[in-house]
Structure 1
């Protein structure tokens, strides 16, 4: 396009007009701001102008007297602000409203919330420590985290965050900074600090960078003494001062002055930097031209108190260049001391007025000109949003640092070859780390207290003897140095190993590295590792930085490959590891456990809709309870249990409970065997079934109408086989079991356990096979669901593989997948209390069925059959279905050929209006043309999807189009199978549709 002169001129006029409008709006805002500041300033007395420069500490705890004292000070002096420390979120909101109502001028409300409001307030989700953030090397994620922190603080009525900490921590024994620092690289700390600041300030929370001029290379605590920073100006400019200068360039709202002795910046003997004109005015103000707020560190700290009395030091702080006095020991003495300094000429009223106007302008910028009460409604929900949790998860995941991975032990492979011990040091009950590890495979937990003895260590070694993998979580204190400083010298602190590494812990680490295949995770300060003498790396080593529950869970996921690895050390660890060390694992290989928001779903909507559907089902006695799981894009985003084992509501449903899968066994047991044997070339689905089951061949002594039936037609349920044969009835007469068929004891001839203490004669299997062969055969080519052939597949599997059917499945799938709850006859492996009961069998076994297969046809096979008999929990079942969804791949292993999976999951005979795949159920062929109530299984299911229903109230479904796995387990047949209210209400499929709806709403 060619522009003429008139068009260019018109464009310039539009741009000028736009710019003029923007400038006018800016000028209007500045005018409003000046008017508000002037108005408020003129309303203040000279004493109140001083008070506007003072922030006092408070806490939303049980100290009501202290809270009332703060309110009195606010009312009497019209103080400038309050800083909340410990307490309760609801109480803090109430106090904030109370304090603001007591103030003539709106108060600044600040929090020392370096990793979010959760640092101070229980019940509020905390974010990672700065050092863990630094390990992410991802400023954008840090900014996202502090954006969420800002939302938390705004919801609490807070306008100021006393952060970020941008001290360069180059001293491992630093008693006060440590994990509060982003690391030891000035450039990295600056980048992280800027991102942190931007996340706050772009969301209207003023950031205060601290502790200027740099507290990172000190070995003492300014709360207790005046630390020395002895370095040259050149070193200070390149290290300590560097991030502060960078943040002032980027517009940080405030800088906190620390109580440090820095002789190369101010040679005045014993002067804290917080009281130094040379440091604050000459460097920060004059050299750097910084115009923002300068806030003193707490003036009750020993580093400040040592230089003068209350009142005197606060006046010196203002003279030195501070605009705000934080946490004075005594407000009355402080105001009196500042007045006295004005009278003596140390300070001028003009200086106070200038600082007061500056503070008022900052209040306007923070929105205090439009102050409104803080609401308590939905407070806790809005402080703990799924979006905040998602950001936290991403930041932790990016920060976990893999330091050792010998022979690529992580992610773990060959789970069927591992006997795994999970040892926790520093905790005595099951940790989130151990719980998450157990979701991936069978594990055994062991514990040692933090200060364990040599005897306890030897006892653990004995217990670990038979395990070929030990995963150890070290839950140590982040630092004891500060506590040590209070009772003795640095030498004493070093002798005590301030990061909790005892001689016994060191011996344990040596044992694990030298005598066991082991993975060690440090849930502590990374500096703890430096206290190990002659460190020998274990096979796997992860630096996880802190003990937060999500950190523990994600570290466990990293070990099994639920997530990758990308974190880098932000500090050097002695001679063992240097800053920037960290190995990469690019992708996940197993299911990840996360929240719906990670895949674009809305957890509030999901929970509301699914809770409603299940609650209605339970209320209508469609099922006593259930377990629901969904995975999207290889991530488990919904896993929830509802109700109870039975209607008497004694035992709540647990995630670890096992359900009778009923006909879902067909695709998770028998079909799994056929798939593997097909892959191995031992079954050709284009062959006749009789080629593998000779009983169906015509022979001299019997005829067979089934000789020519093919695998493909049988698995697609259109071979003409009848649906079912009631085998057990042949073993009973007039409702009583025949003695010749049953024994109450297991003997050589009676091995088929149909129920506890009830065994069927072995040769009854032959009668079943004969009945199947002789059963009626309908005309082929029409879809009629039949389970008869699946009863024969276990024996075919044994004939072709040379293994028992159960051993074949365990070896080829379940144990390698880490799916140990997928099993037949679960009472041999699990306590009865973990197995959800099904029907009270009043006609065959005359007992409550619990842990024994519900299906009678499977029961007469001793509970091991191809049509039914498998039990599982939802978590383990998801691993198998996810492997199917991924066309045979899972955990870095290829279980099945993708070609085989694609063949079995496609519609076989659409020309016969048969929707079925090979063994797998499929949606109706014209699903997308039907009204929602006519669809099967639900409107959202794609033509590529597949799965299976079970009679006991189960369903598994996989949809490659949407990368979705869905599991529903229930015992709808309790106490009786009659009615099938679960099916009438379409509970299973309606819940499945909820997930499709969420996917479509993205």
Structure 2
């Protein structure tokens, strides 16, 4: 049933509504007439209930329901399943179905563990898209309904004009009436459209108080004109738009209640004259909790309840002693202070709203699947969107963000505050080589930071709405001194009021407000810093004269990979989790000791996981996302091919360029007329492979002393493994062997490493630089692909490099940190066909650059025309599926993919058990890395035979929902 939220109980809008109102009136009168005076009074009380207390508490609630016929419960701390069970128990005992309410200002997690948490209102105050806030209300309502809850005591519409407010603060949408009202309207609409009653609070306005009404009676000194203009403004707007209920605060407001220290919650002038008569509010009126000292210090239990009711309130929240209160109501009836007409007005109103909540057809809460329903992935999807729209850049004078030219930056991170920064640091490092400074001594820190071009300072405090987020003197000193010396990006994962402790912002170049210190905020802020997304938020409050409310700098997005929930890019998280099962199956069946998988769509990484261990040995290290694998033939398209394409853009190569032109040493050979197109499509009639290493073994098949030494010398410098050095001139022998090798008899597709070995020679001679230098300086350094490297032990600790094989045929040792491919090893670990190591995320960056037609991070690497030329299948009609350097989808039944990708897709696979693939039509990037060659590369390739890589790719495509 879609609830009709009207406030004149029996108004007639249409025939259907007239019929509904008639049924409602009949039900209300029928129930009301069956109630005794005490039972009618009982309907006024909404008592505090907990699901984390003992059975004695539960039985006390039972007694209030059975003996005093209370009308409702407001639940506080506990857990969802426990509360649901208690709700079913209590409803079963109640003569009239109970109203259930809860404070869920930022979701059920405000009160219940294991439930969903949305941003604080202050964070939502930075969001400019009201549809997102309305959707937040929708989702909150769905979760509340699933828990049998009818009232969410939200939104808070207090206008927080006092930064020192101890109880509202983050619970407010901000400091201006317009901003608060817009967001409150959106949240109210979201809640009520899904059938949960919204409650605006705390009337007439708790925003400009410096004390907490839980502990004392706060005073608001504004005159009536100011209250009308500011504090009451959002109430007027929400009432006009169908607000269900209002909660009246315990405040001392002399301008509208002249009796000294007389709480607004029991003031007839405030509740009846102003709220009901002046503002014409006909909905339900709640008191704030009557156990709060702002009320309970004024009158005793029972007396305070009666006084609140006589003031005009309908529902008495958190009554401390219902039996005593009912007795007081009886006394008031006897002495004429309480009339039947007054009681009927509120009780019938309560019953009418119970009817609208469909409580006349009450059904118990279904416990099955409750936890999963309350924590659905769609809620994460919205939460990401909220933070992406909230994060606010309030200063960016030197245009420090987005950080664009990563190759020119040396970045450090310094943590302040006492809460976790783990996710933030991990995500920063996913974009650039960020060094975390851990010294506790400021002088030492300043020395360490001297060589850094940028310093990111993160201020991390516990994500609690009422926690103290103010910077300490020590933290202020650190910020000041670091900012004097370095270009600083100052990031606050705290409420914006924490900036008030900073008195001088001049030396800080960039300031970002992330609002809350949780995993989502820590994921979003790095994306703003490095330009994966632009900043959209605006300050909900002023920071004295430094930054005004509604200020916020919109920064650019510069096409870098971001991080997102699958649902926000049209994918299904649940289906993607099938990848986990496939990965675990492969490891359990010893197809590979471990693996990494990355999936991105529409420029967002939606899946990044690592499985298994480095090796099969007991105690072997678990694979981490940052570990490096030997990517084998992926080197062709990750290292060599992009440099070849740049030569095309320079005009140095065409598809028709011949090998003899590229490498004059091949003039007169049988390969001199091989073209670039034929070589890169693997139909130049080259032999697939020559086992070059065998010619360097002795009669015992061990490395011959003629070619190797165990220590480097002038003559022996090519390190092929630990304590094994090859003659430095042996590369000439490899090239000569290729030059003199026989051509295949027929021009047709035959995969060969020779072309890429030769292109390495060409690129180095053409540019006068090593391929390693070209790859890093032309691509990786600027892409932020900091893990992609040849010879990883030159740059990384051995512990983060995955072993590849126990070699018992050439190097006779564990190949760990050295390229597995024998020919590449004999070229010093750097070749055109193999040699690169990387983690999966950095491979994805290169593939995303391809997918973005040669652009990434605001830079163009390759022209769109050249990429199109290379991603073309020129010989599909002849049965050759290959693009120019890229592999392409199979033409028949056998091939590198799941068979479910588009024909415009491209990628490559590798001998060590690797694969990467990009699909322009579906905007998908997929990376799979493993060391399936461990411990023996000659063993059956079960990873390939059982189509593990392809099956994962199939799951990716199955997960696409748009």
Q: TM-score range by the shorter chain?
A: over 0.9
Q: Bigger CA drift: 879-888 or 912-921?
A: 912-921
The superposition leaves residues 939-982 of structure 1 with CA deviations (integer Å, 9 ceiling, x where unpaired) of 33222211111111111111222222111112222233322222
- 1:429 CA displacement: 5.0
Q: Say which of 169, 183, 192 aligns to 2:183.
A: 192
1:434-449 matches, cutoff 5 A: 434-446=425-437
Q: Say which of 113, 117, 129 aligns to 1:122.
A: 113
1:343-362 matches, cutoff 5 A: 343-362=334-353
2:531–2:558 contact (8 Å) kept in structure 1? yes
Q: Bigger CA drift: 469-478 or 959-968?
A: 469-478
Residue 467 (structure 1) aligns with: 452
2:463–2:518 contact (8 Å) kept in structure 1? no
Report whether the alignment pairs 1:937 with 2:897.
yes
1:643–1:649 contact (8 Å) kept in structure 2? no
Q: Bigger CA drift: 75-84 or 677-686?
A: 677-686
Q: Secondary structure at the match of 1:153?
A: helix
Residue 640 (structure 1) aligns with: 609
1:477–1:500 contact (8 Å) kept in structure 2? no
- 1:837 CA displacement: 2.6
Report whether the alignment pairs 1:543 with 2:513.
yes
User: 1:128/1:868 Cα in 2 relative to 1: closer, same or farther (>3 Å)?
Assistant: same
Report whether the alignment pairs 1:723 with 2:688.
yes
Residue 572 (structure 1) aligns with: 542
Return the alpha-carbon distance in structure 2 between the equivalents of residues 866 and 367 of structure 1: 71
Residue 399 (structure 1) aligns with: 390
1:211–1:258 contact (8 Å) kept in structure 2? yes
1:329-368 matches, cutoff 5 A: 329-368=320-359
Residue 55 (structure 1) aligns with: 46
1:273–1:280 contact (8 Å) kept in structure 2? yes
User: 1:614/1:22 Cα in 2 relative to 1: closer, same or farther (>3 Å)?
Assistant: farther
Return the alpha-carbon distance in structure 2 between the equivalents of residues 874 and 501 of structure 1: 39
1:627–1:969 contact (8 Å) kept in structure 2? yes
User: 1:588/1:196 Cα in 2 relative to 1: closer, same or farther (>3 Å)?
Assistant: farther
User: 1:462/1:345 Cα in 2 relative to 1: closer, same or farther (>3 Å)?
Assistant: farther
1:478–1:525 contact (8 Å) kept in structure 2? no
Residue 630 (structure 2) aligns with: 660
1:899-914 matches, cutoff 5 A: 899-914=865-880
- 1:877 CA displacement: 0.7
Return the alpha-carbon distance in structure 1 between the equivalents of residues 788 and 906 of structure 2: 20
Q: Secondary structure at the match of 1:135?
A: coil
Report whether the alignment pairs 1:258 with 2:249.
yes
Residue 326 (structure 1) aligns with: 317
Return the alpha-carbon distance in structure 1 between the equivalents of residues 82 and 942 of structure 2: 47
Return the alpha-carbon distance in structure 2 between the equivalents of residues 766 and 910 of structure 1: 35
Report whether the alignment pairs 1:976 with 2:936.
yes
Return the alpha-carbon distance in structure 1 between the equivalents of residues 154 and 283 of structure 2: 14
1:433–1:552 contact (8 Å) kept in structure 2? yes
Residue 959 (structure 1) aligns with: 919
- 1:280 CA displacement: 0.9
- 1:549 CA displacement: 1.9
1:670–1:793 contact (8 Å) kept in structure 2? yes
Residue 705 (structure 1) aligns with: 670
Residue 881 (structure 1) aligns with: 847
- 1:70 CA displacement: 2.8
1:623–1:972 contact (8 Å) kept in structure 2? yes
What stretches of structure 2 of length at least 5 have no aligned partner? 1-11
What stretches of structure 1 of length at least 5 have no aligned partner? 1-20, 449-454, 484-497, 699-703
Q: What TM-score do you get using the length of structure 1 for normalisation?
A: 0.91
- 1:751 CA displacement: 1.9
2:418–2:462 contact (8 Å) kept in structure 1? no
Residue 648 (structure 2) aligns with: 678
Residue 7 (structure 2) aligns with: none
- 1:225 CA displacement: 1.7
The superposition leaves residues 850-896 of structure 1 with CA deviations (integer Å, 9 ceiling, x where unpaired) of 32222112122222211111111111110011011112100001112
1:129-148 matches, cutoff 5 A: 129-148=120-139
Residue 3 (structure 2) aligns with: none
Residue 203 (structure 2) aligns with: 212
1:81-100 matches, cutoff 5 A: 81-100=72-91
Q: Secondary structure at the match of 2:325?
A: helix
1:168–1:184 contact (8 Å) kept in structure 2? yes
Return the alpha-carbon distance in structure 2 between the equivalents of residues 906 and 407 of structure 1: 43
Residue 748 (structure 1) aligns with: 714
1:428–1:447 contact (8 Å) kept in structure 2? no
Q: Secondary structure at the match of 2:76?
A: strand
- 1:514 CA displacement: 2.5
Q: Say which of 848, 853, 860 aligns to 1:894.
A: 860
Return the alpha-carbon distance in structure 2 between the equivalents of residues 624 and 96 of structure 1: 49
Q: Secondary structure at the match of 1:404?
A: strand
Residue 869 (structure 1) aligns with: 835
Residue 849 (structure 1) aligns with: 815
2:896–2:909 contact (8 Å) kept in structure 1? no
The superposition leaves residues 39-68 of structure 1 with CA deviations (integer Å, 9 ceiling, x where unpaired) of 433343322222221112222225444344
Residue 497 (structure 2) aligns with: 527
Report whether the alignment pairs 1:813 with 2:804.
no
- 1:465 CA displacement: 2.9
The superposition leaves residues 455-484 of structure 1 with CA deviations (integer Å, 9 ceiling, x where unpaired) of 74334333333322111111246899x78x
Return the alpha-carbon distance in structure 1 between the equivalents of residues 532 and 615 of structure 2: 34
Q: Secondary structure at the match of 1:878?
A: helix
Return the alpha-carbon distance in structure 2 between the equivalents of residues 447 and 148 of structure 1: 41
Q: Secondary structure at the match of 1:626?
A: strand
- 1:911 CA displacement: 4.9
Residue 624 (structure 1) aligns with: 593
Report whether the alignment pairs 1:510 with 2:480.
yes
Q: Bigger CA drift: 666-675 or 723-732?
A: 666-675
Residue 238 (structure 1) aligns with: 229
Instruction: Give the CA RMSD over aligned residues.
Output: 2.2
1:682-697 matches, cutoff 5 A: 682-697=652-667
Return the alpha-carbon distance in structure 2 between the equivalents of residues 509 and 575 of structure 1: 20
- 1:499 CA displacement: 4.3
Residue 669 (structure 1) aligns with: 639
Residue 9 (structure 1) aligns with: none
- 1:331 CA displacement: 2.9
Return the alpha-carbon distance in structure 1 between the equivalents of residues 521 and 417 of structure 2: 16
Q: Secondary structure at the match of 1:411?
A: coil
Return the alpha-carbon distance in structure 2 between the equivalents of residues 848 and 547 of structure 1: 44
